[in-house]
A and B are shown apart, each in its own frame.
Chain A
Amino acid sequence: MSNHPNDPSRSGTLSILTSPNTHSYLPPEIWGQIFRSLSPRDLISVADSCPEWSELLASEKKHALLELVLPLLNVSKSDILTCRTVSRGAKKMVDSLLQVFAEEQETFQFAHEESIRQRNFISKIHEINESYDFRIGRIQRGRSTFQFLSRVGEHLSRNNNPFLTRSIMILLDVDGDEYTAMEKTLTLFGHHVWSLTATIISDDDYIENPVLIPTKKFARLLSLVPNLKSLNLSSDNSELIEALLPEELPELKHLVRLGFMNWLSGSIESVPLAFLRRYGQQLIELGDTCNDSLLQLDQLNVQVLNELLPNLKKLRLRRTFDSALPKLAKVNWRLEELTLKCFYEWKIEDIFNIIGNFSYTLIQLQLNDDIPFPRHVPVGILDIPGYPCKELAKLQVLRLDTEFADIERCSWFWNSVGTMCDHMREIHFDKDYHITEPRDIEVNAAKQIFVKLPNLERILYWQNNPDGRSLSVHERTDYVTDVTRLSFWELLLQKFRAPART
């Protein structure tokens, strides 16, 4: 370390490393162990800091580089898995990557991954993740928990994590051998699981000979996954469910994400509400994509919602009727990310009152599906209470259905966007694959939007195709000449446009 420059501008880490009081007392292998706990970037920085460290950490640096580079490579699932068998460091590196990427997929996806290389890598992780989908065990015998236990689980110690993505998918209504195998598997390895998706699937036998869905057994299984961070509960509209009390559910200290899919009002009170009452206080993210929204329940009034979910930062809501919308406009949550989809019987003021309620905290906003086409045509829009809403001072990313790109048709939205979203950096439009708009329509819309939003940097059009997702990007810099040419007149026009109501 003697040749290391003693430069006061260097980081604190380097100062410690170069300190004669630290480096000379520890043998190299101990330093190696210490540095292995650093993030790949930090480890590379340390290795690059001087020739001695570079030599000592040569192998660790290569593992760290591989961890950073692998998501950019176009390699197959089996190639990724082969890298796990190269060395302990490589295994640790690949497993860490798989877990981080899999966990990211659990969080809300406001902006899709732009790098096609990373998108390819994520698709490989999805393939690996599917290996732990034990829901289809009933159909494919080879994928059952029973098979997993006999082929993998029984050969590993409890310390080994057999779930590479730390994510598993199970059925709620399993019974007999499969339940016993699931219970045994989770008893051995449940502490490695971070994400659990549990589904109720009724089959034809059940219709003729209905079975009560055993939610109390599920509560027992949950006690075997104490490190769970994400829980998704999905139903296929089954109404025959054993009632569950919040106090019957185990403590899950790390649970911060809860999602409900496809529940009907008949069963929503029996299971999802119990989960909300048990874990609501610790939740950061809530995904309510039920057929009938939880928010419609009469017992969940504004005061109860405030008390139940005091720490909620991210909300994804799909399908909700007008009875639930005023609640969202009044709750005192400090939401940073909000997705609103497919409302029924909604009015313009519902949207603006809801957005306005989170105007001080909202960073990302997504408006999808039927929202751009209000049933009540906004006549005399300036007289609508709450329109436009307060300035969204922190909003950086807006994601919209491509129908919003029709500026004239959605003038009710775009006329107000300049005052609402002045600081916004990015707009993402989602197109269905059957929509084939000519490029010049995109360009014209982009041109108008850049004028309305002077701080906007990029507009991204995403299209879902049968073989993947395609992207076209419009950068402000590409439009700088056009915008400059137009901006004088547009700015002049904007000055005379109706001012925002307060």
Chain B
Amino acid sequence: MALVRVISSDGAAFLVSQRLAKRSGKLKTEIETFRKSSDNSEAQPEIRIVTIRAEILRLVLQWLQQHQNDPVLPANQNEQDGRGDAEMGQSQWDRDFLAPMDLGIVMELILAANHLEVKGLLDITCKLVESKITGRTVDEIRTAFKLKSDFKGNEEEQTRLENRWCVEN
């Protein structure tokens, strides 16, 4: 089985089958570029992902492993509203996979899925974060993202005033 070594920003190496890795658009391109530039067709590609740390990369690979037999969705597939196929494609396994995660980790997963071009993972993670913002009150968003209000004086009221002009006009 042909393998590829994928290295995270903090130096952790993951040995992955090329078949699995190629389900990421980015890794597929990197493997093909390596093949073109390498004289030795048996050489094992090594891909360094400088923007993704080990904890997140492991989660991406875990998701890819689980979905290895799903059809690959092109990253720029035309969609009517950009919501992707999250609702259609989200399985019980996906829900269990995301459930224990802090929103910070989910946001890191979004960036990783976007960078690695893993559309299915991008869709379900975006959907989760969208659900914490869409139609929510400010307090609900603060609670979901564990952020505290640190406005001083009438800053918050002024911000609402600026917003109101944009909403009403």
Interface set of A (CB-CB < 8 Å, partner B):
41, 45, 48, 59, 61-63, 65-66, 68-69, 72-79, 81-91, 114-117, 119-120, 128, 130-131, 142-143, 148, 151-152, 155-156, 160, 162, 164, 467, 470-473, 477
Cβ contacts A to B, 6 pairs, < 8 Å: A41-B51, A63-B147, A81-B167, A86-B145, A151-B165, A156-B161
Q: Does B111 contact A (CB under 8 A)?
A: yes
Q: How far is the CB of A480 from chain B (nearest CB, A)?
A: 9
The verdict on A120 contacting B146 (CB below 8 Å), with A62-B104, A75-B134 known, is no
CB <8 Å contact, A82 and B169:
no
A76 to B130 alpha-carbon distance, docked (Å)? 10
Partner of A471, one of B78, B103, B130, B145: B78
Given the known inter-chain contacts A81-B163, A82-B136, please indicate yes or no for A59 contacting B148, CB distance below 8 A: yes
B135 and A79 contact, CB distance less than 8 A: yes
Contact present for A72 and B110 (CB under 8 Å):
yes
Nearest Cβ in chain A — how far from B113, in angstroms? 9
Q: Which among B81, B107, B130, B161 has the highest number of chain A CB atoms within 10 Å? A: B107
On whether the beta carbons of A85 and B159 are closer than 8 Å, the reply is yes
A85-B138, A87-B148 as given contacts; A77 in contact with B168, CB under 8 Å:
no
Question: Chain A contacts of B137 at CB under 8 A?
Answer: 82
Interface residue from A74, A164, A471 paired with B83 (Cβ < 8 Å) = A74
- Distance, CA A472 to CA B133, complexed state (A): 31
By the criterion CB–CB under 8 Å, are A116 and B78 in contact? yes
On chain B, the residues within 8 Å of A77 by CB distance are 166-167
10 smallest beta-carbon distances between A and B, as pairs = A65-B107, A81-B163, A120-B82, A131-B166, A131-B169, A116-B82, A69-B107, A74-B82, A152-B165, A85-B138
Contact A62–B147 (Cβ < 8 Å): yes
Best-buried of B75, B147, B160 by chain A (most CB within 10 Å) = B147
Q: What residues on B are CB-neighbors of A467 within 8 Å?
A: 80
**Assembly CA distance A41 to B112 (angstroms):** 12
In the complex, how many angstroms separate the beta carbon of B83 from the nearest chain A beta carbon? 5
Chain B positions near chain A (C-beta within 8 angstroms) = 9-10, 29, 32, 51, 53, 74-76, 78-83, 103-104, 107-108, 110-111, 114, 122, 126, 129-130, 133-138, 141-142, 145-151, 155-156, 158-169
A152: chain B residues within 8 A (beta carbon): 161-162, 165
State the Cβ distance, A353 to closest chain B Cβ, in Å: 36
Contact of A131 among B110, B114, B165 (CB under 8 A): B165
B162 smallest CB distance to A (angstroms): 6
B72 smallest CB distance to A (angstroms): 12
A5 to B110, CA, bound (A): 28
**Contact assessment for A88 and B150 in the assembled complex, using a CB-CB cutoff below 8 Å:** yes
B111 touching A87, Cβ below 8 Å: no
Q: Identify 8 new A-B residue pairs, CB closer than 8 A, beyond the known A85-B156, A115-B75.
A: A48-B9, A62-B107, A78-B167, A86-B149, A115-B76, A128-B166, A470-B78, A471-B76
Closest residue of chain A to B138, judged by CB?
Answer: A85
Tell me which residues across on chain A come within 8 A of B10, comparing CB atoms: 48
By a CB distance below 8 angstroms, the chain A residues around B107 are 62, 65-66, 68-69
Residues A82 and B76 in contact, CB atoms below 8 Å apart: no
Given known A66-B145, A131-B169, contact A73–B129 (CB-CB < 8 A): yes
Query: Closest approach, in angstroms, between the C-beta of A12 and any C-beta of chain B?
Result: 15
Closest chain-A Cβ to B74's Cβ sits at a distance in Å of: 7
Q: Which of A76, A162, A473 contacts B76 (CB 8 A)?
A: A473
A152-B53 Cα distance, complex, nearest whole Å: 44
Across-interface contacts of A472 in B (CB, < 8 A)? 78
Q: Do B155 and A69 touch (CB < 8 A)?
A: no
| A156 to B83 alpha-carbon distance, docked (Å) | 37
- Bound together, the chains give a CA A48 to CA B108 distance in angstroms of 11
Q: Is the CB of A73 within 8 A of B133?
A: yes
Are the C-beta atoms of B159 and A120 separated by less than 8 Å? no
